[in-house]
Chains A and B, each alone.
Chain A
C-alpha cells in the first residue's frame, strides 16, 4: 500500500478506537452527557496519560457527577489540546503541594457545599492538615511529605469505608508505610532529639496484638496508624499524650495507671512497658522479678519495695490462676461422673472475672489495691474446691454404700449355697427315666 492510504488507514483506526473507547466510556458514565473532550483525547494517549481515565471510572467523585475539569480546570468542550488547556480556561495541570491542598479544600472545606453530597462528613481536614507534621513541613517547603493524593489516591478515589480504599482500616498501615518504611525516602528526617526517624514501624506493628485483632479477628475497632497518630492532623502523640491516646480505648488501665507510682516516673507512660508499635499480648510473664520480666529492668534490689511489690503481685495472680485451674479440673471430673455442678461452674466464671480484674488492677502498681481483688477471687475458688471435693466425696460415699449392699448380697449367696446343700441332703435324689 502507498503512504497516504496507510496514513488514512492508521488515522481511521485510531479515530475508531478513540470513538469506541469514548463510546464505551460514555456508556459507563450511563447517560448521554455532553462529550467530555478530556476523556476522549486522553484515552487515546500512551498509558501514562490514559491510566488516569481508566482509574477515574471507579472514583467516588465521578459517581457524584464531577469531571476532570473540577480539579484540573481547562475546557472540556475543546478537542484541541492547546485550546483545552489555555491559561484562560483556568487549567492548572496536576496540582501538587500546597496547590493541591487548596484544590481539594475548595470543596471539602466548604460545609454548605459538602452538605449537598455527604452531610455527615467533616470539613476541617485542611485545617487539621495544616497542624500536622506533614502540613507544617509542606508549608516550610518540603515537597516529599504526604499530601491529599498521597493517601487517598488521585483518580480512583474511594470512600474510606470501601474495603479497596487505601485509607480503609486494614489498608492504612500499608499506605503510611509506602513512605515511612522507605529508608531512602525517609533519609534526612530526624526526631526532635536529633535521632533519625525509624522506618520499622510497619514491621513492628504487624507483630502487634492490634494488627492481629484488625486483620485476623476482623475487629475494625482495633487501632491502626491513624487511630493513635490522627488522620489529617497526623503527628506522633507527645509523651504526655500517650496515656490519653491509649486510654481512649483502654480507659480503665489509663485511669489506674494515672493513680500509680509509675505515672510521674514513666515519661512514656504505657509505651514504657508495652511499646508503641509492636504492642504484644500482655500476660503475667511481664510482671515479677526474674530476668524475663519488665519490672526487673528497674527493680533489682531485693530490699526495694517495688521489687517486693512486683514479686507479691505476681505470686498473688499466679496463685489465683492455678487455684482456678485446679478447681476447674475438680469440677469437670465431678461433672463427667454425673454430678450436678452448674452452680460451681457459674462461680468459677466469677472467679475468672476476678482474674481479669486483677490483671487490670496491676496497673495501679499497688499491692494494697490488688489484694482485695485477689482475695475475693480466692474465696470463690476455695468455695468451689470445697464443693468439688464434696461432690467427689459423695461419689465415694455411694461407692461404700454399694459395697455394703454387696456384702449383704454375698451373705445371702453364701447362706443360700449352704441351704441348698442342706435341702439336697434332706430330699432324696431320685433316679428316673426321662421319656
Chain B
C-alpha cells in the first residue's frame, strides 16, 4: 500500500486508516456532487432550450397584425412591425390595406381619420389618401405599402402583413 508508516500500535493505525477512509469518502462525495452539478448545469439549459418559446418563430419580413374580426370598415389600427409602427386600414369598401406608419416628412406616426377616410399626420398636417399617396402637406413621398394576406378559419382569420 505505498509508503510505510511508522507504527506505534494497532489502534493508531486503524484510526489513521479510518481518517483516510473518511477523507476519501468526503472527496468522492465532493467529486460526485461536482460532476452532478456540472451535468445539471449543462442538461438543464439544454432541456429548457429545446422547449419552443412562446413567440413561435422569428418575425422577419412578415408579422401578424391582428384578426379579421377586430377591424370594422372605415377604421384602422396601429401594429408593431419589427421596431417600426405599421398602420392597418380597412377601407369604407371593406378592403384591408397596410402601410408603414412612419410619415415620410419627419418620421412622426400617422393615424387614420375616419371622417375624411384619409391618413393624417398630426405633426405638420400631412395628408395621405388610401393608396398612401400624398394629398396635401409637407410629406415628400408616399407611404410605403405592405402586402396583406388572410390565413385561418373564415370569420376569424389572422391578418398577415408582409414587406413587399
Contact = CB atoms under 8 A, between A and B. Distances in A.
A–B contact (CB under 8 angstroms): yes
B138 A346 contact: no
A2 interface: no
B123 interface: yes
B31 A416 contact: yes
Contacts of A412: 31, 34-35, 37-38
Nearest to A255: B125
Interface in A179-219: 217, 219
Interface string B69-108: 0000000000010111100000000000000001000111
B131 interface: no
Contact of A411 (B30, B106, B138): B30
Given A249-B138, A350-B109, A405-B41, A356 B123 contact: yes
Contacts of B107: 349, 352-353, 356
A321 B41 CA distance: 45
A11 interface: no
A419 B85 contact: no
Contacts of A409: 34, 38, 41
Given A249-B138, A408-B37, A357 B80 contact: no
B84 A346 contact: yes
Interface in B22-49: 24, 27-28, 30-31, 34-35, 37-38, 41
Q: What's the dominant secondary structure at chain A's contact region?
A: helix
A418 interface: yes
B109 A357 contact: no
Interface string A147-183: 0000000000000000000000000000000000000
A360 B124 contact: yes
A181 B23 CA distance: 103
Interface string B104-146: 0011110000000000001111000000000001101000000
B57 to A, nearest CB: 14
Interface string A336-365: 000001110110011011001100100000
A422 B37 CA distance: 22
Interface of B: 1-2, 24, 27-28, 30-31, 34-35, 37-38, 41, 80, 82-85, 102, 106-109, 122-125, 137-138, 140
Given A221-B140, A350-B85, 15 more contacts: A221-B138, A252-B124, A252-B125, A346-B80, A346-B84, A349-B109, A350-B109, A356-B106, A360-B124, A405-B38, A408-B41, A409-B34, A411-B37, A415-B31, A426-B1
13 contacts: A249-B138, A342-B82, A342-B83, A343-B83, A346-B83, A346-B85, A353-B108, A356-B107, A360-B123, A408-B34, A408-B38, A408-B41, A415-B30
